[in-house]
């Protein structure tokens, strides 16, 4: 199973069909444990046969563009609507990943979305996981989708 391609395909499909914005994927990398400054992150945790997290990290400026397009609203700051939209994007991405990791639907459970945003915060790097971060580029911004995953035997 190619997790990088799954992330790219899922993100591209969601942005094309739901957000109505074209994106281009960049080269995957392992994100360093550095703080995000003026960003918002939507995170879904996975439990069961596969443990870890899937997150979408957006600079606040990009988040207002993305969530405004997704909701068809004028979003000028990170408000309740923007938070809900980022959480829903994380949820859709994690749902697509779950369908690949767990075709039967009973071996992986997903959490409700968690949100972090602000001037400076750190998203924990989970121990003993494979870490993949894929950058995505829009005409007017960029964002990251990050998977941290460990398979239980």
- pTM above threshold 0.85: yes
Contact between 3 and 10 (Cβ < 8 Å): no
Q: What domains appear along the chain, each with residue ranges and CATH number?
A: 3-151 (3.40.1550.10)
Residue that the structure tokens 């859709």 belong to: 92
Query: Residue length, the chain?
Result: 153
Give the single-character DSSP code of 121: B
- Give the pLDDT confidence of 11-45 residue by residue, as tens digits: 999 999 999 999 999 999 999 889 999 999 999 99
CA pair distance 121, 119, nearest whole angstrom: 7
What is the tens place of the pLDDT at every residue in 46-86? 999 999 999 999 999 999 999 999 999 999 999 999 999 99
- Locate the DSSP E strands across 60-124: 108-110, 114-118
**Cα distance between residue 148 and residue 131, in whole Å:** 4
- Taking the C-alpha atoms of residue 41 and residue 34, their distance in angstroms, rounded to an integer, is 14
């Amino acid at each position: 199973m190619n997790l990088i391609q799954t992330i790219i395909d899922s993100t591209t499909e969601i942005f094309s069909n739901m957000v109505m914005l074209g994106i281009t994927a960049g080269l995957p990398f392992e994100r360093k444990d550095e703080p995000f400054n003026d960003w918002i992150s939507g995170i879904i945790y996975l439990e069961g046969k596969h443990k870890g997290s899937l997150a979408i990290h957006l600079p606040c400026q990009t988040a207002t563009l993305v969530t405004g397009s997704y909701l068809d609203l004028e979003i000028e700051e990170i408000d309740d609507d923007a938070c809900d939209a980022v959480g829903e994007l994380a949820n859709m991405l994690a749902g697509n990943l779950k369908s690949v990791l767990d075709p039967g639907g009973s071996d992986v459970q997903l959490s409700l979305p968690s949100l972090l945003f602000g001037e400076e915060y750190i998203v924990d790097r989970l121990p003993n996981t494979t870490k993949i971060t894929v950058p995505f580029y829009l005409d007017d911004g960029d964002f990251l989708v990050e998977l941290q995953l460990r398979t239980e035997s």
